[in-house]
Amino acid sequence: MKLCILLVVLLITVVRAEEDILENEAEDISPAIKERSARGCIGRNESCKFDRHGCCWPWSCSCWNKEGQPESDVWCECSLKIGK
């Protein structure tokens, strides 16, 4: 009987400690999530030249050069990538 009570107390202690750990992790992660949602994301066919990871899901940043243009003149926009 004493062993059963000890196991119940141990289980309660572990569960409470786990809740505290999860709460602390949520507090650490939430500023990054708030920053991302405050900044928003880049929509379809909008330029992503200066933020290549900022496209809204399911879009991704695709960049290319137009023929005859210098390599420094890159065009980027959010679009669906099909294939690779």
pLDDT in tens, 6-54: 888 877 776 666 666 656 665 555 554 545 455 588 888 888 888 888 8
Q: What pLDDT, on a 0 to 100 scale, did the predictor assign at position 25?
A: 60
pTM: 0.43
Sequence-distant (6+) residues with CB within 8 A of 74 are 49, 63, 64, 65
> CB–CB of 61/74 below 8 Å?
no
Can you give the residue ranges of every domain in the chain? 1-30, 40-83
Altogether, the residues listed in the chain come to a count of: 84
Residue 55 DSSP label: B
Average pLDDT over residues 62-75: 82
- Confidence band for 69, pLDDT divided at 50, 70 and 90: confident
Tokens representing 4 are 């059963």
pLDDT at residue 3 above 80? yes
Q: Whose structure tokens read 């928003």? A: 40
> CB–CB of 62/76 below 8 Å?
yes
C-alpha–C-alpha distance, residues 54 and 52, integer Å:
6
Q: What pLDDT, on a 0 to 100 scale, did the predictor assign at position 26?
A: 55
